Amino acid sequence: MINLTIDNQQVRVEEGASVLEASRKLGIDIPTLCYLKGLNEPASCRVCVVRVQGRPTFDAACVLPAEEGMVVHTNTPEVLAARKQILELFLSDHPFECLTCERSLNCELQRLAKRYGIRDPYPGGERNRFRIDDLSPSVVREPDKCVRCRRCVAVCEEFITADIYRMNDRSFQAVVGPAFNGSLTETPCIYCGQCITVCPTAALREKDSSALVWEALADPKRHVVVQTAPAIRSSISEEFGFPVGTPVEGQMVAALRRLGFDRVFDDCFGADVCVMEEATEFMERLKKGGPFPQFTSCCPSWVLFCEKFYPQMVDNLSDVKSPQQIFGALAKTYYARQAGLDPAQIFVVSVMPCVSKKYELLRPEMKASGVQDVDAELSTREFVQMLHQAGLDLKKLPKEKFDSPMGSASGAGILFGATGGVLEAALRTVYEWLSGKPLKRLEFEEVRSREFKEALINAGDHELRVAVARGTGAARRLLDQVLEGKKDYHFVEVMACPGGCVGGGGQPIYTETSDWNEQVSHRVKRAAGLFELDRSKECRKSHENAAVLKLYEDYLGRPGGQLARKLLHSHHIRRKLYAGESLASKA
């Protein structure tokens, strides 16, 4: 243990603790901006400077190891003046657009400016002007708002391992960006949006689709249906004052009706259909002897990651579409027929914790109904914004039920929102089909995890090796081992984002911590509500969902059958890393 003095207070900390941590232990909050412990510690923003007695200059508290006998001052006039000056410098190279900025009131720079009472901005001075990159369907980059914290660089390099961002150029013009400071569309970006969730400002944000949706809702000729991803129901609650992870499915449905959607459906229905198809595909692979492992394909960022970084493995991806696309295809065929509507008349909106879904819906393959199957996607953040605009407070709304025929889901479908959930949902079905017995114990604890995990399952005559990779970085490590022949699996689930969809790139941005692990924990807490919903369901297996069974009976025929293949399956493309595809954005 180490003893030191901070602002005349004695404190004892573990060896290796930083001065920042020691101060926080005393209840003294030293400000940070670039720092995200465990992920990004460049000590570059300098707002955490403190004065250590005997040292000639200020030190960055975030990375300065506490030493025995150290005497630290964190709030002397000179320290406070330095922090203020640093913030003034930041603001002198930042657009003053706070009133119209998406991150207003949730911006870490704005919060610091307020906290330090910056009143007189730096007079004059050149400001960097960069081009906005809004060419990608998912992520908008506005480098003028970049504070050079490099968190996006770190999350993309370490966690996602797509390595899109770097610090480019030098001097005053140095800025974070993709190669050539070009567009994300020219990079191997997988549009997961994790960079958005760690950006302290609005330098990175999603491409806003809400205007498109408002327009569709106002159009009397349009029949607007909405599907809500599993994770949404336990994620929006925190934006309305509920504890993190509170499931608010009923209020959410009520809110969507009040927004004006003609039908409020559940994407978990699509997830259940997805399980039916994926389990069928798995059974076929077992019969044919492969190729294994079969990878899940419901995360479009993961699919794109595989297509770009492991093109030799695309045949291992399940060719079943994601629940969003399955839903879209069925809404414009199955539902259209039932409701007597022309597919072109139906406008399908999805509400997802994701920005990659905006990309997915534009993939040229996604036109099984003859027109684009899903018309627009709203991220959780856009959805919350729309509720605010409409004056809808979830706390004041009643609980309502989804519409049929695509509104009922099994517990398995709901699990899609958490890491390990897709695999678990699929195994519930696969197990029963293989062993002929209903699965008694439903939870596969060993695969429901935050880290890359594996499990061995005995199902009938089969011994199944399955794994879950949490994030594409973990997937990369797993794939490399598979390719080297060190690992061998039957079924692998990959989700690009930490914690799965609950930690998605379209989710509420949590800025209350400067610790990456705490941030991930916060996201994972949102999954608790999903597990709770699963447990509360009478029907917890996709193949027992009556609405799904009816769908097959009335319309699709058998899982993996001809119509199912046409509508619900897709193919994958071996892509080049730097080919640069252009997907015309609809917005």
Partner 1 sequence: MKQTAARKQDEFHELASIVKKYRGREGVLIQALQEAQEMYGFLSRELLIRLAYELDVPLSEIYSVVSFYALFKTEPVGRCHMEVCGGTACYVNGMRDLLEYLEEEYSLRPGEVTGDGKFSLSTVNCVGACSASPVVKIGEEVFGEITGRRLKQLLERYGNE
Partner 2 sequence: MNDVVESLDELVARIKPEERHLLFCGGVPCLSMGCRKVREAVLRELKEHNLTGKVKVLEAGCIGNCKLGPTLIVYPEGVIYRKINEENAREIVREHILGGKLLEHLLYRDDSTSEVRHRREDMPFYRGQKRLVLRNCGVIPPDIDAYMSNQGYAALAKVLTELTPEDVIEQVSRSGLRGRGGGGFPTGRKWQAARAAEGTEKYVICNGDEGDPGAFMDRSIMEGDPHSVLEGLTLAGYAVGAGQGYIYVRAEYPLAVRRLETAIGEARKACLLGDDILKQGFSFDVEIRVGAGAFVCGEETALISSVEGTRGDPHPRPPYPAEKGVWGSPTVINNVETLANIPPIILNGADWFGAVGTEKSKGTKVFALAGKVKHSGLVEVPMGTTLREVIFDIAGGVADNRRFKAAQTGGPSGGCLSEEHLDLPLDYESLREAGSIIGSGGLIVMDEDTCMVDVARFFSNFNYQESCGKCTTCRIGTRRMLEILEKITSGEGGEADLDRLESLAGLIKSASLCGLGRTAPTPVLSTLRHFRAEYLAHIRDKRCPAGVCPGLARHAILEERCRVCGICRNVCPVGAVIKEDKSYRIDPDKCVDCARCAQECPFGAIRGRKRKEQAKA
Q: Could you list the residues that contact partner 2 (CB under 8 A)?
A: 42-47, 49, 57-58, 60, 63-65, 82, 85-86, 89-90, 92-93, 122, 124-126, 148, 167, 169-175
Q: Minimal distance in Å, beta carbon 80 to partner 2?
A: 12
Query: Active site includes 107?
Result: no
**In this chain, which of 25, 166, 258, 586 binds partner 1, going by CB under 8 A?**
166
Which of 186, 278, 377, 432 is labelled catalytic?
Answer: 278
First to last CA, the chain: 57
> Least separation, in Å, of the C-beta of 175 and partner 2?
8
Residue burial 501-534, b: 16+ Cβ < 10 Å; e: rest: bbbbbbbbbbbeebebeebbbbbbbbbbbbbebb
Which residue, 124 or 340, is less far from partner 2 as judged by CB? Answer: 124
Name the residue with tokens 């909405």: 226
Instruction: Say which DSSP state 208 is in.
Output: P
Q: How far apart, in whole angstroms, are the C-alpha atoms of residue 575 and residue 577?
A: 6
**357 in active site:** yes
| Residue 158 engages partner 1 in binding (rule: CB under 8 A) | no
170 binds partner 1 (CB under 8 A): yes
Beta-sheet pairing, 294-295 with 491-495 = parallel
Per-residue CA distances from 374 to 288, 351, 365, 503, 523 (Å): 33, 11, 12, 23, 27
Q: Which residue number, 165 or 310, has a Cβ lying nearer to partner 1?
A: 165
The tally of CA atoms less than 13 A away on the side-chain side of residue 477 is: 13
Phi-psi domain of 229 (left: phi exceeds 0; alpha: psi -120 through 50; beta: other) = beta
**How near is the Cβ of 152 to partner 1 at its closest, in Å?**
11
Residue 439 partner contact from partner 1, partner 2, none using kind-dependent CB cut-offs of 5 to 8 Å:
none
Element (H, E) at 343: none
Are 493 and 468 in contact, with CB atoms under 8 Å apart? yes
Question: Is 544 an active-site residue?
Answer: no
Residue 112 or 361: the one with the smaller Cβ distance to partner 2 is 112
Catalytic residue status for 435: no
Known catalytic residue: 278? yes
Q: How far apart are alpha carbons 529 and 249 in whole angstroms?
A: 10
Cα 369 from Cα 276, distance rounded (Å):
20
CB of 187 to partner 2, least distance (A): 18
Output 91 or 212, the one with its CB closest to partner 2.
91
Active site residue 365: yes
Which of the following is catalytic: 107, 189, 195, 298?
298
d(Cα 541, Cα 543) in Å, to the nearest integer?
A: 6
| C-alpha angle 129-135-140 in degrees, rounded to nearest 5 | 60
Q: What tokens does 145 get?
A: 């708002």
Q: Which is nearer to partner 2, 59 or 518 (CB)?
A: 59
Stretch that binds partner 1, among 175-183, 345-353, 464-472, 553-561 (CB under 8 A): 175-183
DSSP code for 202: T
| Shortest distance, position 513 Cβ to partner 2, whole Å | 21
From the list partner 2, partner 1, none, partner contacted by residue 124 (C-beta under 5 to 8 A by kind): partner 2
Q: Choosing among partner 2, partner 1, none, which partner's interface includes residue 10 (Cβ < 5 to 8 Å by kind)?
A: none
Our finding on whether 29 is near partner 1 (CB under 8 A) is: no
CB under 5 to 8 A by kind: which of partner 2, partner 1, none does 563 bind?
none
DSSP 3-state of 555: helix
281 is known as an active-site residue: yes
Interface residue list for partner 1 (CB under 8 A): 163-170, 178-180, 187, 577-578
Active site residues: 278, 281, 298, 318, 357, 360, 365, 501
